[in-house]
Amino acid sequence: MAVITLTTDFGTRDTYVAEMKAAILAIARDIHLVDITHEIAPHDVLEGALALEAAAPSFPADTIHVAVVDPGVGTARRGLAVAAREGVFIGPDNGLFTPFLRGARWSAFELSEREFRRPAVSRTFHGRDVFAPAAAHVARGLEPARLGPPVADPVRLPWPEAHEARGTIRGAVVHVDRFGNLVTSVGAEALSSLGPSVSVRVAGRALRLVGTYGDLSRGGAGALVGSHNRLEIAVNAGSAAAVLGARRGTPVVVSRTSAPARRARRQS
């Protein structure tokens, strides 16, 4: 059974998500539909891209990911299908698929063939009328190349990265999750290169590196490597964003420190 995921900024109050699912099911009934999230902040393309980066690798490699965070809907921006190592990604060509455009193991196609969309296309709802039908056809076995001509220059977002020099890594907060944890651009691999003893500074506070949330006292702040292999700032049973007054873009600096010297053993 084919798997199609949905990632949008639509929320669940309105009927938009259900209409997209209906458009898929009208073409392909034997589909497993998975909602990644519909709570992306409105029009926040970077947040949508980060959500896809976090979730898509957990799915089978032949999964079709439909993503709609599309402030440019109805304009000259292209619709896009990207076939990558992590799956097929379908949505607007506005940078949503930046994490999957690294290296050479991808191909992209413009969604221009009318036979693979709904007969009537609303200028304000391409998620239902263009992207969902294209995904359903791919789920039924259509090669993405049949959706339209190749695209050599898909839009890429400026991607948040960390930079290391002289034992110091400089990065930034890239996402605040619903618990108030601050997800940063510092990856676990870069962090490990500094060794076991580091200091993490954010919003004027120097924090220790711990293994998990429970290693902190209740209400205490610290840094840890989260489940997506990024450095995170957390407060045990609280919100790091609120406690530290931090948000996306807040600088994060990780520095190598010297391990404290052991006390000399007392002579009896």
Q: What confidence tens digit (pLDDT) does each residue in 109-131 have?
A: 999 999 999 999 999 999 999 99
Strand, helix or coil for residue 132? helix
* Cβ neighbours, 10 Å, residue 137: 22
When pLDDT is averaged across residues 139-165 and rounded to a whole number, the result is: 96
Give the pTM. Answer: 0.91
Strand, helix or coil for residue 181? coil
Query: Distance between CA atoms of 63 and 6, rounded to whole angstroms?
Result: 11
Query: Distance between CA atoms of 21 and 24, rounded to whole angstroms?
Result: 5
Q: Say which residue, 267 or 222, is predicted with more confidence.
A: 222
Share of the chain above pLDDT 90, in %: 92
Query: Distance between CA atoms of 234 and 10, rounded to whole angstroms?
Result: 28
Whether the Cβ atoms of residue 25 and residue 57 lie closer than 8 Å to each other: no
Average of per-residue pLDDT values in the chain: 94
Query: Cβ neighbours of residue 262 under 8 Å, at least 6 residues apart?
Result: none
Domains along the chain with CATH numbers: 2-147 (3.40.50.10790), 163-256 (2.40.30.90)
10 Å CB burial of residue 232 (0-12, 13-18, 19+) is buried
- What would the two tokens of residue 40 be? 């992306």
Whether the predicted pLDDT of 264 surpasses 70: no
Share of the chain above pLDDT 70, in %: 96
Angle CA(174)–CA(180)–CA(183) in degrees, nearest 5?
Answer: 25
pLDDT tens digits along 207-261: 999 999 999 999 999 999 999 999 999 999 999 999 999 999 999 999 998 654 4
When pLDDT is averaged across residues 31-49 and rounded to a whole number, the result is: 98
Q: Residue with structure tokens 């032949």?
A: 62
The pLDDT confidence band at residue 266, using thresholds 50, 70 and 90, is very low
Whether the predicted pLDDT of 78 surpasses 70: yes
* Cβ neighbours, 10 Å, residue 241: 21
Whether the Cβ atoms of residue 156 and residue 44 lie closer than 8 Å to each other: no
